Amino acid sequence: MEKVVLAYSGGLDTSVAVRWISDNYSMDVITLTADLGQAGDMEATKRRALAVGAVDARTVDAKQMFVDHFVWPSLQASAKYEDAYYLATALGRPLISWLLVDLARETGAKAVAHGSTGKGNDQVRFDVSINTLEPSLRIIAPMREWNMNRDQEIDYAKKHDIAIPITPERPYSTDANLWGRSVEAGVLEDAWVEPPEDVYEWTSNPATAPKDPEYIEVEFEQGIPISIDSQLLDGVPLIQQLHEAGCRHGIGRSDHVENRLIGIKSREIYEMPAAEILHTAHYALETITLTREQMRFKKLVSAEYARMVYDGLWFSGLHRELAAYLEINQKNVTGTVRIKLWKGTCTAVGRKSPESLYQTELATYGADDTFDHNAALGFIKLHGLSQQTQARTQIAAGRELPRISRPGKGDSVQ
């Protein structure tokens, strides 16, 4: 029989997919579970895959690869989709796609499969990445094809004795890795309903988090974190340590209605403790190591980079070009930031760098001030010259002068 490699998480969708593919395509299913730091017992996941009908089950420890080649570049890019989502799932999909293609080549499989729905972003990320890496592979997406809703899927699992960690009372769809956790479906589909506390599996409720703040110092080298409190750490343990601290203090929760690539809006709950801490620290360091012009342009690049990742275009020329810019942009983003964690808030309260553009003698209002105050007069004259020239020749010449009225009095600001 022909073989298919299925991206397997051990959850409802992919567990049902093993049986469904076997029944409907008469193919041998090989499962691939990539450990991106989502927790859970990989060996237990492997046994579950075999129990539901896979002929072979593979696991890959891809945490270090995920951090080095996906997470750190996104941190350097300050990538945050719609200013709410640090792209944890979106960053994992191209890596899983690469691993799927690699295993398909190794085993001689003619197809690969994933558990994405027909109305989500992940189907695009998987399909586009796989078609880019190996166009000859057939892609099977059971959830796009079987026309079962969530309740019917649960019934299907029960009918075929497929053990799943989901009930009709708690029908959430989740995904997690080192960089974050996402939750959707169930009661969350009502955008007016406050998320129940059981949605959050990682982070403490900020209301019941420790009453005393915790301070952490994060050191960066060229935009990449390398130590916590002066202890040098590799990427994976560094993120894990910050994850634990963030969870204690309820850091990184987000309730966001986002614009999906396929044209619908979707409500997502995110838990991103380590990502929130590191992005906060990274930005604070950029404020003293990048110029005003660099930060302005970096903001545009960050938005484009986040959109590119979210839209599943990791293996594109655009990504390569943005990465080349960021490598130069982050060259001087080196230094240490002190972060305060307290009751759901993450605040930079100190920053220092050998590359700092913040000069005390220029910023101070004290006796050590070296700033040339007289130079400001000439600067102001030149800065306002264009506006003043336009006012004389176009706005004031036979036209009504700009006026400002108080809001609510009938006139708008012109």
Q: Supply 276's token pair.
A: 């929130």
Please tell me the total number of residues recorded for the chain in this structure: 414
274 close to 346: Cβ distance less than 8 angstroms = no
Q: How many percent of the chain have pLDDT more than 90?
A: 73
398 band by pLDDT with thresholds 50, 70 and 90? low
pLDDT at 162: 82
Mean pLDDT across 238-259: 97
| The pLDDT of residue 166 is above 80 | no
Distances (CA, A) of 257 to 53, 82, 84, 269: 37, 10, 9, 9
Q: Is 295 exposed, middle or buried (0-12, 13-18, 19+ CB in 10 A)?
A: middle
Q: What is the predicted pLDDT for the residue at 378?
A: 92
Query: Taking 80 as the threshold, does the pLDDT of residue 406 lie above it?
Result: no
Q: Are 354 and 333 in contact (CB under 8 A)?
A: no
**147, pLDDT greater than 80:** no
Handedness of CA 186, 199, 49, 125 (dihedral sign): positive
Local confidence band at 409 (pLDDT 50, 70, 90 cut-offs): low
Q: How confident is the model over 157-181, as a mean pLDDT?
A: 79
Contact between residue 209 and residue 247 where contact means Cβ atoms under 8 Å apart: no
Active site residue 13: yes
**In the predicted structure, residue 414 carries a pLDDT above the cut 60:** no
Q: Order of strands, edge to edge, in the sheet holding 345-352?
A: 231-232, 224-228, 214-221, 335-342, 345-352
Question: Are 116 and 141 spatial neighbours (Cβ–Cβ below 8 Å)?
Answer: yes
Domains and CATH numbers, the chain: 3-67+89-173 (3.40.50.620), 176-361 (3.90.1260.10), 372-414 (no CATH)
In percent, how much of the chain has pLDDT > 70? 93
Nearest to residue 122, comparing CAs of 199, 9, 3, 278?
9
Task: pLDDT band for 307, please (50, 70, 90 cuts).
Answer: very high
**pLDDT beyond 70 at 355:** yes
Confidence check: pLDDT of 412 > 60: no
Confidence at 397, pLDDT banded by 50, 70, 90: low
Q: 279 by DSSP, 3-state: which? A: helix
85 pLDDT tier (thresholds 50, 70, 90): very high
> Going edge to edge, which strands form the sheet with 28-35?
56-61, 28-35, 3-7, 111-113, 138-140
Catalytic residue among 97, 122, 204, 253: 122
pLDDT band, very low/low/confident/very high, at 350 (cuts 50, 70, 90): very high
> Within a 10 A sphere around the Cβ of 287, how many other Cβ atoms?
14
314-337 pLDDT, tens per residue?
999 999 999 999 999 999 999 999
Contacts of residue 386, Cβ cutoff 8 Å, sequence gap at least 6: none
Which tokens in the block code for residue 127?
Answer: 């399909």
Which residues face 59 on adjacent strands?
Answer: 33
- Residue from 9, 13, 182, 253 carrying the catalytic annotation: 13
**Mode of pairing for the β-strands spanning 180-184 and 265-271:** antiparallel
Give how far Cα 125 sits from Cα of 69, 103, 245, 398, Å.
17, 18, 31, 58
- The confidence band for 408, taking pLDDT boundaries of 50, 70 and 90, is low
Sign of CA dihedral 337, 70, 290, 306: negative
Query: Which pLDDT does position 159 carry in this prediction?
Result: 82
d(CA 365, CA 380): 20
Instruction: Provide mean pLDDT across the span 179-198.
Output: 94
The one catalytic residue among 15, 129, 173, 182:
173
pLDDT band at 11 (very low <50, low <70, confident <90, very high): confident
335 close to 284: Cβ distance less than 8 angstroms: no
Span of 165-169, 208-212, 241-245 with lowest mean pLDDT: 165-169
Phi and psi based region of residue 377 (left: phi greater than 0; alpha: psi -120 to 50; beta: remaining): alpha
Per-residue pLDDT, averaged over 40-69, amounts to 94
pLDDT for the residue numbered 41: 86
Does residue 93 have an active-site annotation? yes
- Over the Cα atoms of the chain, what is R_g? 26
Question: What does the pLDDT read at residue 158?
Answer: 84
User: What's the one-letter identity of residue 39?
Assistant: A
- Please, are residues 103 and 31 in contact by the beta-carbon 8 Å criterion? no
The mean pLDDT value of the chain amounts to 92
Active site residue 353: no
- Specify the range with the lowest mean pLDDT, choosing from 59-73, 284-298, 299-313, 373-387: 373-387
Strands 214-221 and 224-228: antiparallel
For the ranges 154-163, 216-225, 318-327, which has the lowest average pLDDT? 154-163
Has 9 been annotated as catalytic? no
- 45-80 burial: b if 16+ Cβ within 10 Å, else e: bbebbeebbbebbbbbebbebbbeebbbbbbbbbbb
Supply the pLDDT for residue 367: 86
Catalytic residue among 19, 58, 93, 181: 93
pLDDT of 238 reads: 98
What is the H or E stretch that residue 44 is in?
Answer: helix 42-51
pLDDT exceeds cutoff 70 at 405: no
Q: What is the mean pLDDT of residues 98-113?
A: 98
Structure confidence at residue 154 (pLDDT): 81
